[in-house]
Amino acid sequence: MQEANRQRMVGLIRAAANNATIAEVVGTSIRTFQRTRNKWNEGEDVSHKSPGAPANKIWTNNLVEHMEKKIKDIPIKSMSKLAYEFGVSRRVIRCAAHADLNLTSFSRTQKHLLTTRQKDIRLERSNKLLTWLKHNSSTVKIFSDKKVFTLDMVFN
């Protein structure tokens, strides 16, 4: 809304005009008029306020360097926590990480861990299999298992 319309609303409020009439004369919705009237009644400034520093003033090389250092120190830290620490929005952090650092957000999937009992059973069965293969070396069998047979977490 233009500054002139705001000042016009304040003038009509002082003249004690009807709310619907003021909104119609100025050409705004009644809700916009009510917000302006409430600000004026509370003694606040009714002029337009800047939304803050634009993202290109926040997203600097200095931010990217500090962000890269923090990510290398603790790679599992979330983008939300980084945004809170730097005092910027999550969108700025996400865009900077993607555009400048070529990083993407990754959420780890939960996997079932093997219990000690399951590990013991697998060890026992594999030992039985090895002893059978020692005694029956003439017979060749190919084993194929499509399941992942890792006991510990693997990093790519």
Structure tokens at 4: 């002139």
Please state the φ and ψ torsions of residue 139, each to the nearest 5 degrees. Answer: -90, 125
What confidence tens digit (pLDDT) does each residue in 89-125 have? 888 888 888 888 888 777 777 777 888 999 999 999 9
**Residue for token digits 């697998």?**
122
Structure tokens at 124: 């026992």
Does the pLDDT of residue 32 top 60, yes or no?
Answer: yes
CA atoms within 13 A on the CB side of 39: 16
Q: Is residue 69 within 8 Å of 89, Cβ to Cβ?
A: no
Residue 23: how many CB atoms within 10 A of its CB? Answer: 21
- Residue 121: its pLDDT value, please? 94
What confidence tens digit (pLDDT) does each residue in 59-73 have? 788 888 988 899 889
What confidence tens digit (pLDDT) does each residue in 44-98 have? 777 766 555 555 567 788 888 988 899 889 888 888 898 888 888 888 888 888 8
Which pTM does this prediction carry? 0.38
Compute the distance between CA of residue 123 and CA of residue 133 in angstroms, rounded to an integer: 15
DSSP assigned state of 151: S
Q: Is residue 71 within 8 Å of 103, Cβ to Cβ?
A: yes
Can you give the length of the chain in residues? 156
Does the pLDDT of residue 38 top 90, yes or no?
Answer: no
Does the pLDDT of residue 156 top 70, yes or no?
Answer: no
Task: Determine the residue type at 136.
Answer: N
- Residue 126: its pLDDT value, please? 92
Compute the distance between CA of residue 107 and CA of residue 154 in angstroms, rounded to an integer: 15
Does the pLDDT of residue 127 top 90, yes or no?
Answer: yes
